[in-house]
């Protein structure tokens, strides 16, 4: 009789693993993840993990350094700290890890990956706290994604960081924006990254929007799957690109608030309360 290990399917063929690798490669190809820039966490159900791994076989335990009591027992596929997105497709087992959370969030049990002795992203506080926060408003949330797209980053040097103004500007840059992120974009001032403090602040901002800009650093997106979250950041970054192309020119036309309202009504979305003057 085969033992459990022999019977397990190869996790590299798991649909979520394939999708994670494709997404990371795509993000790299978009120029959003230079060097080790950016990180992704994907929440998984036990039933998605158990066909591939012996879930009682913990490779090692790693302290997280923060509390996330609502996430105990949850599984996450997470990019490794210091790892390059461009390398994930060539060596997923080194650059990714699959962890399970316990001890009120204070311990991560490694079940697969980080095979060179590495560990999860330094931004795990922002990721896990954001997961916990998004799950309170959307039980289907599974993804938190962070990256450094050039135009959104550039915008934080030249545009007001007021969330309403920042959101309105992006909505005005492409017709689809208000449809894709009707909840708007929240903005944090520059803060030291990799800390519990920026994690708490990001999670708080995630209560009211799925996009959170880290000024002079990058952006966080949250969503129900990798594709949707990628698309969310992609749309905001496209809008920021238009802004950076036109901000220094004389603006002759724009999308009016009345037109934004028409779009919201047509596509059945509710724009962030108080953000439109109509």
Catalytically active residues, by annotation: 123
Q: CB of 38: closest distance to ligand 13P in angstroms?
A: 5
Residue nearest to Zn ion (CB): 218
Q: CB of 165: closest distance to Zn ion in angstroms?
A: 24
Q: CB of 270: closest distance to ligand 13P in angstroms?
A: 31
Q: Please tell me the count of residues contacting Zn ion according to CB under 5 A.
A: 1
Q: Which does 121 bind (CB under 5 to 8 A by kind): Zn ion, ligand 13P, none?
A: ligand 13P
Residues that bind ligand 13P (CB under 6 A): 36-39, 79, 81-82, 121-123, 146, 193
Nearest to 22 by CA among 7, 1, 6, 42: 42
**Cα separation of 44 and 273, whole Å?**
32
Identify the burial level of 255 via C-beta atoms within 10 angstroms of its C-beta, where 0-12 means exposed, 13-18 middle and 19 or more buried: middle
**Cα separation of 117 and 102, whole Å?**
20
Please list every residue from 205 through 264 that binds Zn ion, using CB under 5 A. Answer: 218
Q: Judged by CB, which is closer to ligand 13P: 79, or 141? A: 79
**Cα separation of 161 and 215, whole Å?**
8
Nearest to 99 by CA among 29, 49, 27, 51: 49
Q: Judged by CB, which is closer to ligand 13P: 172, or 202? A: 202
Q: Which residues bind Zn ion (CB under 5 A)?
A: 218
């Amino acid at each position: 009789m085969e033992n459990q290990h022999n019977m397990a399917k190869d996790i590299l063929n798991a649909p979520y693993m394939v999708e994670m690798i494709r997404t990371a490669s795509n993000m790299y190809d978009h120029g959003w993840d230079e060097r080790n820039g950016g990180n992704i966490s994907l929440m998984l159900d036990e039933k998605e993990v158990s066909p591939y791994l012996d879930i009682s076989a913990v490779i090692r335990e790693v302290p997280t350094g923060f509390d996330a009591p609502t996430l105990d027992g949850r599984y996450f596929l997470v990019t490794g700290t210091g790892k390059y997105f461009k390398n994930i497709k060539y060596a997923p087992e080194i650059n990714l890890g699959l962890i399970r959370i316990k001890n009120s969030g204070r311990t991560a049990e490694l079940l697969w990956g980080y095979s060179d002795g590495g560990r999860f992203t330094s931004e795990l506080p922002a990721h896990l706290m954001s997961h916990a926060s998004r799950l309170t408003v959307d039980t289907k949330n599974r993804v938190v994604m962070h990256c450094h797209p050039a135009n959104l980053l550039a915008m934080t040097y030249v545009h007001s960081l007021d969330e309403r103004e920042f959101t309105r500007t992006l909505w005005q840059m492409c017709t689809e924006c208000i449809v894709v992120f009707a909840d708007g974009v929240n903005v944090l001032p520059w803060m030291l990254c990799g800390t519990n403090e920026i994690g708490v602040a990001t999670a708080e901002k995630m209560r009211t929007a799925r996009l959170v800009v880290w000024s002079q650093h990058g952006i966080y997106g949250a969503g129900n799957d990798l594709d949707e979250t990628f698309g969310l950041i992609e749309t905001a970054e496209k809008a920021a690109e238009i802004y950076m192309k036109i901000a220094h020119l004389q603006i002759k036309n724009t999308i009016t608030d009345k037109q934004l309202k028409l779009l919201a009504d047509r596509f059945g979305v509710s724009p962030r309360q108080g953000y439109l003057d109509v």
